[in-house]
Structure 1
Amino acid sequence: MIRTAVPEDVPVILALVHELAAYERASHEVLATEEQLREALFGEHPAAFAHIAEDGGGEPVGFALWFRNFSTWRGTHGIYLEDLYVRPEARRGGHGRALLRELARICVERGYGRLEWSVLDWNAPAIEFYRSIGAEPMSEWTVNRVSDGALVKLAAADG
C-alpha cells in the first residue's frame, strides 16, 4: 500500500533517510533533523512531498521523497525524486515499483512532463530495476553540486 505521508510520519521518514544513507555509504552526510523535515514537508509552504510504502500489516517499509522541478525546454513541471528507499527485508515485494507508479500517476494527472532521479553508478540492482520500468540513463549529463565552504565562498565572491 502507498499513501501520502502525514506529519506523524516524520520520525520514520528520518529513520529511513538514515538507513538509505548507510546503504549508500554516506551516513556521515545526513544532517537533517525532524524539525527540518516537518517544515519542508508540512510547513506553510511545503518544498517537498513524501509517500510511504506499507506492508500488509501497515508497517512502513519504504518511502519516496520528491519535489517539483521545471523544464524550460518542455515548458512544464516535473517531479524530481530525491530519495527512494525500501528496507532490505521488504525488497522484491513491489514497494519500489508501487512508489514509482504513484509518482508517475501524479505526473500524468497534473500534466508534468518528466519523472527524474539520480542513482549511484555502483548500485547495479537499482539500475537494473530502473531500466526494467523504462527509465533511461542520462549518461551525457554530469551532476554538479556546490555546498558547504564552496557555497559560502561562491556567495561572497565579487564579479
Structure 2
Amino acid sequence: MEIRFAENKDIYAIIDLCKAHTAYEKADYNAENKAESLEKLLFATDSVLKCLVVEADKEIVGYATFTKQVSTWDADYYIYLDCLFIQEHARGNGIGKQIMFAIKDYACSVGCSAVQWQTPDFNKRAIKFYKELGATSKTKERFSWKFDL
C-alpha cells in the first residue's frame, strides 16, 4: 500500500471514490464534467486543493482532499480536510490513521498547527476513529447556499 499525492492518471478513480463517498453519506452526486473540473482544481500551477490517494495492488482504494484556509478567530492558518474516504474492503487496516498523519505532516510543512473537518452525525464509526486520534468536535450545522453563475 502506498499513500501519495494524486496524479492526472488517478482522476477517474477519484471520481468513482467521490461517487461512493456521497452514497455513503446519503448525498447526491453528479459526475458530469468532473474530470475536467477536478484536473483544473488539483493540477493547475496555482492549485490550493491537495489530494492524497491510497493505492493498494494497483487499485486506488481511498482518497483525501484538503486545502489551506484561515481562521479569523484563531488569527492563523489551518488545513481543512474536505473529504476522506476509504472503500469498505480496505477499512480497518490503519489506512485512515496513516492518511491523517500524512495530512498532519503536510500541515506542519506549510506552517499550520491544526486540521479541521466535519462528518455526518450518523457516521459513528468515523466519529469514534477521530476521537481515538485525539480530535475534538463542535456541534454546528453546515449550510450550503448554491446559485447559478
TM above 0.5:
yes
Deviation at 1:25, TM superposition (A): 1.4
1:44 Cα offset (Å)? 3.3
1:76–1:111: 8 Å Cα contact kept in structure 2?
no
Query: What's 1:113 paired with?
Result: 113
Could you list the per-position Cα deviations for residues 54-91 of structure 1 after superposition, in whole angstroms to 9, with x for gaps in the alignment? 22x24211000111111223332211111100000000
1:34 corresponds to? 35
- 8 A Cα contact 1:52 1:64, kept in partner: yes
Structure 1 residue 31: deviation in Å? 5.6
TM-score after normalising by structure 1: 0.85
Distance in 1 between residues matched to 2:51 and 2:65, nearest whole Å:
4
What TM-score does the superposition give when structure 2 sets the normalisation length? 0.90
In the alignment, what sits opposite 2:53?
52
Within the alignment, does 1:83 sit opposite 2:83 as a pair? yes
Corresponding position of 1:22: 23
Structure 2: runs of 5+ lacking an equivalent:
none
Larger mean Cα displacement after TM superposition, 17-26 or 40-49: 40-49
Aligned-residue identity in percent: 27
Name the CA distance, whole Å, in 1 between partners of 2:96 and 2:89: 13
Match of 2:73 in 1: 73
Shift in alpha-carbon separation, 1:39–1:28, aligned structure 2, 3 A: closer
How many residue pairs are counted as aligned between the two chains? 148
Please report how far the alpha carbon of residue 95 of structure 1 lies from its aligned counterpart in structure 2 after TM superposition: 1.1
Q: Is the 8 A contact 1:53 1:63 kept in 2?
A: yes
CA RMSD of aligned residues (A): 1.8
Cα offset, 1:28, TM superposition: 4.1
2: distance between equivalents of 1:16 and 1:67?
19
Structure 1 equivalent of residue 142 of structure 2 = 143
Cα distance in 1 for residues equivalent to 2:29 and 2:47: 26
Q: Residues 88 and 11 of structure 1: is their aligned pair in 2 closer, same or farther, counting only changes over 3 Å?
A: same
Q: Write the distance in 2 (CA, Å) between the matches of 1:76 and 1:113.
A: 9
The letter of the residue matching 1:3 is R
Residue 59 of structure 1 aligns with an amino acid whose one-letter code is E
Letter paired with 1:111: G
1:132 aligned partner: 132
Name the CA distance, whole Å, in 2 between partners of 1:28 and 1:13.
Answer: 13
Change (3 A) 1:30 1:127: farther
- 1:74/1:113 contact within 8 Å kept: no
| Pair 109,43 (structure 1): closer, same or farther in 2 beyond 3 Å | closer
